[in-house]
Chains A and B, each alone.
Chain A
Amino acid sequence: MIDVQNVSMRFNLGIEKNNSLKQMAVDLFSKSAREKRKMHKKENEFWALQDVSFKVEKGQVVGFVGSNGAGKSTLLKVVAGVMKPTKGKVLVGGNICPMIELGAGFDLDLNARENIYLNGAVMGYSKDFIDSKYQEIVDFSELHDFLEVPVRNFSSGMIARLAFSVATIVEPEILIVDEILSVGDLNFQKKSENKMRSLISGGTTVLYVSHSIESIKSLCDKVVWLEHGKVIQVGTAEKVCAAYYESQIGK
């Protein structure tokens, strides 16, 4: 279903310094400046992912753990097609619903109704599809009284509700979830977790990032542990979570 083969991803941390006209002019006329900057560039290279490989079968729920900056989100973005890997290949069979950051496609000046359509379009849905699912989205979000209110005036929890409701309205073959289930109030957390479970039991393949070991253990079949862009361990949730927990406590 998903086959990640030797994926490496390079970022250049100092890159914003390079794209000014002055720098280009200096480079053009001075050879030493050019070489110096080349060196500088090498030093500033940052490999967010290094030689990461794993496979996900259809219907599997795979969790990703690791410290902040370990490369989890980058990996999900590569799988979602947002970024092209510097090296390696990602093969994906099936349509992906990425929930990497909820509400990314919202325009704060538009009201909830308009945003449902806009965000739906961003996710690649058609108008007819959103029309037919509109009521369901509104019902799930429980925001009936706020449909004509600009999203600017929403609380962050309300935005998350709306975004989650739009994102999960399809039954995607692959769902990518990046730490979003902790938003919203308890009632909505429960509801969104139930929704996730129903998607999982319906055969959706899920890639799930979370810092909550509990929810990883309860949802995932398989866990990938990343650290500094490298895979430390791949295995059953029980085993990898235990090892990860150990290492975190040990620090």
Chain B
Amino acid sequence: MYIKNIIDNFKKYSFLLRQLVSRDFKVKYKRSVLGVLWSLLYPVLMMAVMAAVFSNVFKFSVPGVNYLVYLMTGLTFFNYYSEASNSSMSAVVANFSLLNKIYIPKYIFPLSKCLFVGINFLLTLIPLYGVILLSGSGETKCHITALHLLLPYSYLCLLLFTVGVGFILSTISVFLRDMFYIYGIVLTILTYFTPIMYDINMLDPWIQQVLKFNPLYHYITFARTIILYDQMPSVKSFIICGASCLITLVIGMIVFKKNQDKFIYYM
């Protein structure tokens, strides 16, 4: 009964959800000369800078794999997380003027941000696959195999995890506007505590254990196992990915639902 209500409500507002996503897309690029091309160009250029700095200046490398592909996989996942969680954090606050005037399920705003950034994520897969195809020759060459069909599982986990985090963040930011600044710092910390540009095995065992509490590590590792090592991820890693994102999502939904009626007092 309860679940059915949620689904009915979701159906009713799915058109609104699509409209909000397409609105974001249109507005974002409306006044730029290159337009939508930017959503392809921007991540490519950003990653090119990161790749140049880490592989040429700092001489980072990970034994046995193509470092560029290693870095790009991590960056693609992490960039999605940081952009989507950041923009869904402000989604409720930014739409207060609307929420104050008309009844709309409030969860739709953080959710629409996660989906909108998701489109960008899919576009950044194009340069990722470009790098995979051009990953040179020899031992470290990456191959596109049937295992790549499993990758969407890690994308889905990433999405659900981010939606859950987005719900929690957007709730907190209503009551505590300082969150916008705090989270900026948290994200910077997280950039270094997620093995994006380095290999976790370089670190002390106890730090490795700590880093494994970060669900992002597991989603990225899941993808890397397939892309870099042509291997099937272990059953354990399937379970960890699935469970971590579902638990986060459910916690996020509960936190959001419990507090959403109070939002209106904090405008």
**Is B204 interfacial (CB-CB < 8 Å)?**
no
B-side contacts of A84, CB under 8 Å = 261, 264
The proximity string for B residues 16-32 relative to A, scoring 1 for CB distances below 8 Å and 0 otherwise, is 10111001001100110
Q: Which of B1-26 contact A (CB under 8 A)?
A: 12-13, 15-16, 18-20, 23, 26
Indicate the member of B13, B16, B97 with the most A CB atoms within 10 Å. Answer: B16
Cα-based distance from A100 to B97 in the complex (angstroms): 12
**Is A238 interfacial (CB-CB < 8 Å)?**
no
B-side contacts of A126, CB under 8 Å = 15
* B interface, over-half SS: helix
The proximity string for A residues 15-59 relative to B, scoring 1 for CB distances below 8 Å and 0 otherwise, is 110011100100000000000000000000000000000000000
A-side contacts of B178, CB under 8 Å = 20-21
A-side contacts of B23, CB under 8 Å = 107, 110, 114, 118
Shortest C-beta distance, B48 to chain A (Å), equals 30
Cα-based distance from A11 to B31 in the complex (angstroms): 40
Contact B19 A118 (CB under 8 A): yes
Contact B27 A98 (CB under 8 A): no
Q: How large is the interface on B (under 10, 10 to 19, 20 to 34, 35 or more residues)?
A: 20 to 34
B-side contacts of A100, CB under 8 Å = 101-102
A-side contacts of B53, CB under 8 Å = none
B-side contacts of A118, CB under 8 Å = 19-20, 23
Contact B19 A98 (CB under 8 A): no
**Is A105 interfacial (CB-CB < 8 Å)?**
yes
Contact A104 B98 (CB under 8 A): yes
Q: Which residues of B are at the interface with A, using a C-beta cutoff of 8 A?
A: 12-13, 15-16, 18-20, 23, 26-27, 30-31, 97-104, 175-178, 182, 261, 264-266
Q: A80-B102, A118-B23 are in contact. List 10 more A-B contacts (CB 8 A).
A: A20-B176, A81-B103, A82-B103, A104-B97, A105-B98, A121-B13, A121-B19, A121-B20, A122-B19, A125-B15
